[in-house]
Structure 1
């Protein structure tokens, strides 16, 4: 559990098209074995500390002739952004993926003082 001691809590959200590999024969569509795609997401305004980040698939276009195998997560979370990471493996064929994300954490305000 992350306990936010700030009186101000910010919520940022967005959507990212991670890839569309079927159009150009990319590795997620034509490859085999472990494949990973990373996308850096930068918050419009930074938090005061790394927030809690939730990611979810909002579009997945998969080949139905093979098993669907997917892992999605947020890594390297900082106050200013994170990396969305999508993985698949074996013979799964992924045409395209879009994710939505939400970050919740402490933010600074006008009344915050930086006492030295």
Structure 2
């Protein structure tokens, strides 16, 4: 469990389209074997320390001729941004993948910014 020692807790959220085969050809649809796609997401304002980020699938369009294999994770979470990574492998073909994300963490204490 992560304990937040602040009364200034921030929540940021958003949507990111990782890829869309119909807009452009991607390795997630046309490739085979191990494949990874990454997208960097910036927060609306910086956190005081790296927040906890959770992901959920909002859009998934996959071929039904093979098993759906998908691994989703966050990487390199900092106070200003993070990276979403999506892996697939074998013969899985994914045409579109969109993610919703939520970040919860301690905000920068604006009272500390004042130097009187």
TM range (shorter): over 0.9
Residue correspondence of structure 1 range 1-116 to structure 2 within 5 A? 1-112=1-112
Return the alpha-carbon distance in structure 2 between the equivalents of residues 25 and 14 of structure 1. 25
Aligned residue pair count: 115
The answer to whether the 8 Å contact 1:53/1:101 transfers is: yes
For normalisation by structure 2, the TM-score amounts to: 0.92
Deviations along 1:38-68, whole A, 9 cap, x unmatched?
0000001000000000011110000001100
- Give 5+ residue unaligned stretches, structure 2: none
For normalisation by structure 1, the TM-score amounts to: 0.92
- Give 5+ residue unaligned stretches, structure 1: none
Deviations along 1:16-49, whole A, 9 cap, x unmatched?
0000124433211011000000000000100000
Superposed CA RMSD: 1.6
Range 21-30 or range 50-59, more displaced: 21-30
Local SS of the residue matching 1:92: coil
